[in-house]
Amino acid sequence: MLTRDYQPALVPMEQAIPANSNWLLRGVGAVALFALLLVATLSNEYAYSVLGNFWAHVFELLGIGPAAALPEAGTSVGAVLNRPRNLPAVLSYGALYVLACLGLLFLMLPHARQRRLVLGFYGIAGTVFLLLLVLSRLSHMAVLAVLANQLLHFIVSLVPVIVLVPLLRWYSNNQPASKPTQ
């Protein structure tokens, strides 16, 4: 027979759920974005096809020929893409993928300092990619196009998310507490 001493204390519902119940919404959002990114990664050829058809219709409505959208095989853009694809489709896929990665990172890294570092990382990586692409175009050096290709594939992947989340969580946990200003 249980006595009152052994029964768990009943806690009102308001106290059972933390005051900041954003954690559940953030967790569900993070899982949904991760699943979306995983599906996008596994079916990127289909995404390129859908986006290519979308942009072809947009160009048709605007009266722009579809040949302007495809990169030439001999150019540095063609070398970076590895195959002739609709350039607006590639750019829109990359932009949507990076935005989803940023959304996932912002859900998993709540501090402003962490978010600034994430934005700085993607900004620097994008700038280096564009610089390599322009330099390969101007100098006709295929090695720069290959480096740009590798950097692009790194940026438009889950690898930065997988690396940045634990790294920035560790970094913020090891920072000394800020001292009050006098």
CA–CA–CA angle 103, 109, 110 (5° rounding): 100
Instruction: Grade residue 182 by pLDDT with cuts at 50, 70 and 90.
Output: low
For 39-70, the pLDDT digits (tens) are 888 888 888 888 888 988 888 888 886 655 55
What are the structural domain ranges in the chain? Answer: 26-172
What CA–CA distance (Å, rounded) separates 93 from 87? 10
Q: Which of 161, 159, 133, 160 is nearest to 147 (CA)?
A: 133
Instruction: For Cα atoms 43, 48, 54, give the angle at the middle one, nearest 5 degrees.
Output: 130
Express each pLDDT in 85-116 by its tens digit.
677 888 899 899 999 999 999 988 888 899 99
pTM for the structure as a whole: 0.71
How far is Cα 11 from Cα 17, in angstroms, rounded to an integer? 10
- Check pLDDT > 60 for residue 72: no
Mean pLDDT, rounded, of the chain: 78
86, amino acid identity: N
